[in-house]
Structure 1
């Protein structure tokens, strides 16, 4: 069963942010792009990265947090997913998939939420933090039943793709100070507008870890 207070936060946020109705079923899109085990609505969960060399169900995953706002001449101000080791502040304790959109919920009473942008090749996986209505890109799915027993953490897919996320080291300017972060990048490349160190990159799966032991994620 879901922890009641956390489920209430997710449901309240979904209501407060008034997600637009999809023109076609996000669930159908997920299953057509990623298979029968794909779901468009899922959560709440935390995000974690697991090195692909360790296997999809490794227990040695690294928790991910929403990074501070950083500045770059190419992207301007933006926020990404950073490893807990390089940015241990938990600002958004829960995430969820809602009709294919990935959101981070802070506190429903404050009206502050986060939405994931549609990841672009070679670029960091970015988020916007908003006080207004969320309108996340409906391009994400959770792939469930990833272990032989069918009870391991789901993994995140973008347009059906689970294989091309990476953790890369970056150095950004935050309020005039250099900020070293290990961030999530989609399809990293050597030519990347100086957004990260390509040689530092290693491939990962992004796990969707239920927020409480024994909880049952919300999904079809």
Structure 2
């Protein structure tokens, strides 16, 4: 073993011992409230990654989409065709607000999605429930942030994970969450005239 290799091995051994000591104190488990927000791409994509992890571990899970309409997406098509026994999928929105152009209808649909979400979250058999784009529905005033926070605090089963996605997450939601990730926009092809593409955006 060279002197550099020996020095590296000792350094890594010291780091591992410190890390192991820290990890030994992390013994708790609980259902998490997880928020993916920010202007960058990847909020729903990361959330669906966790849904597919649950599916792989035979953990029952569910998805409620608050804004996205009936367009075909890879995640939804795969779940409905292959994993419907492990993941319930509810597309409750009718598209983005600039497409529907009907605020009263948007509110009605968002409220229906929230009722479905509450039903699924209350069921302790579901280990994870993804509320896709709920942050947008909250931002537009279709759903009350305080109501969402109060419901999660009072009625979410202890071991159920709930994931809330969408930009501009409300401060109350961020404060109540256990894990918050903000996706930062650094560069996006849309600004260069590139449209949303299959396999990347949907």
Q: Greater strand share, 1 or 2?
A: 1
Q: Fold-level match, TM-score > 0.5? A: no
Short-chain TM bin = under 0.3
Greater relative contact order, per chain length (Cα 8 Å cut-off, separation 6+)? 2
Alignment TM-score, normalising by the size of structure 2: 0.25
Q: Greater helix share, 1 or 2?
A: 2
Alignment TM-score, normalising by the size of structure 1: 0.24
